[in-house]
Amino acid sequence: MSTPNQGRLHVSFRPSDRARQALDGLPGPVTCAAEPSGQDRSELLSDVRGAAALVCLLTDRVDAELLDAAGPSLRVVANMAVGHDNIDVAACTARGITVTNTPGVLDEATADLAFALLLATSRRVVEADAFVRSGGEPWSWRPDLFVGLDVSSGATLGIVGLGRIGLAMARRARAFDMRIVATPSRSAGEEAARLGIETLPLPDLLVTSDVVSLHCPLTPDTRHLIGAKELRLMGPGSVLVNTARGPIVDEAALATALADGTIGAAGLDVFENEPAVHPDLLALPNVVLLPHIGSAGRATRDRMAMLAIDNARAVLAGEPAPTPVHP
């Protein structure tokens, strides 16, 4: 039998009504930030003092400073995200603090957005919308007006990172009759074979693909995985989609490649120095820029918050966390 929760749980953002109800059902004290967008650094450092659990956002930097501020009572950091590059996992582990994330619950929503970016960039949707809204140039149907990539006419999608979200992206591409290639993955298994996904090393994938979609985690090995050299391999007319992590792409190199026609277009939901965006990207018509909304479905965000809360509850109750970063 598990023991009752001991210690305070702090949430670094204002939870939704559903998440608030789950928090109200916990036996221990709970404190929450006032804003849904989270707390500034000084507020978080103050409010985490003495907490036994922290439910946080990917924008919260959990480092030695924050761990020191929390003190020895802190037992679990529950990140409301799949990625956890905002957390010094090694420092937490050294202090006996469990780190958790929220995998699985946002796969479909993120893949939906990635495919939306694929279509928006390939068919130049945002450019065409701005053209109509501008009202500055008379127009009528003509053969050369905003011509783009025919996605469902034999186009090839290259997936970099064939995990859960990458496979969800592949399922959508299969429905559009795209050829699908991917970088090697030990976890893709039978579904990759069922979907007919071909495996290629990254340079060959870049040369082969009409659209390259990034779904790999941010690690030291994947930082700037896509730079000037890789963009040149993609070639004119190709499209880059990134819904993973911003620093996987060298943003300055991407801006140059988009401006000089090295590649045709890009769709970005994440940025290298988020929330800042490279100013050269802001000036370009052939890039679609979104404010990190890959998981921004109502039901998905609720599931993320509920899983993060359940991770924190479990650790405080002396139970195994449902989704620890390191099992």
Residue among 43, 127, 191, 274 flagged as catalytic? 274
Residue among 75, 164, 245, 313 flagged as catalytic? 245
Sort residue 35 into left (φ over 0), alpha (ψ -120 to 50) or beta.
beta
What's residue 135's pLDDT? 86
**pLDDT tens column, 30-70:** 999 999 999 999 999 999 999 999 999 999 999 999 999 99
CA nearest to 231, candidates 244, 240, 223, 219: 240
How many helices (H) and strands (E) the chain has is answered by 13, 12
The DSSP call for residue 135 is -
Q: Identify whether 245 is a catalytic site residue.
A: yes
pTM: 0.90
Residue among 278, 292, 303, 313 flagged as catalytic? 292
Query: Residue 137: pLDDT band by 50, 70, 90 thresholds?
Result: confident
Q: Identify whether 292 is a catalytic site residue.
A: yes
B/e letters for 109-122, b = 16+ CB within 10 Å, e = fewer, are: bbbbbbbbbbbbbb
What's residue 99's pLDDT? 98
**pLDDT tens column, 165-224:** 999 999 999 999 999 999 998 877 889 999 999 999 999 999 999 999 999 999 999 999
Query: Residue 327: pLDDT band by 50, 70, 90 thresholds?
Result: low
Location of structure tokens 């965000």: 301
> Could you give the residue ranges of the DSSP H alpha helices within the chain?
17-24, 41-47, 64-70, 89-94, 107-122, 125-134, 164-175, 189-194, 202-208, 228-234, 251-259, 279-282, 298-316
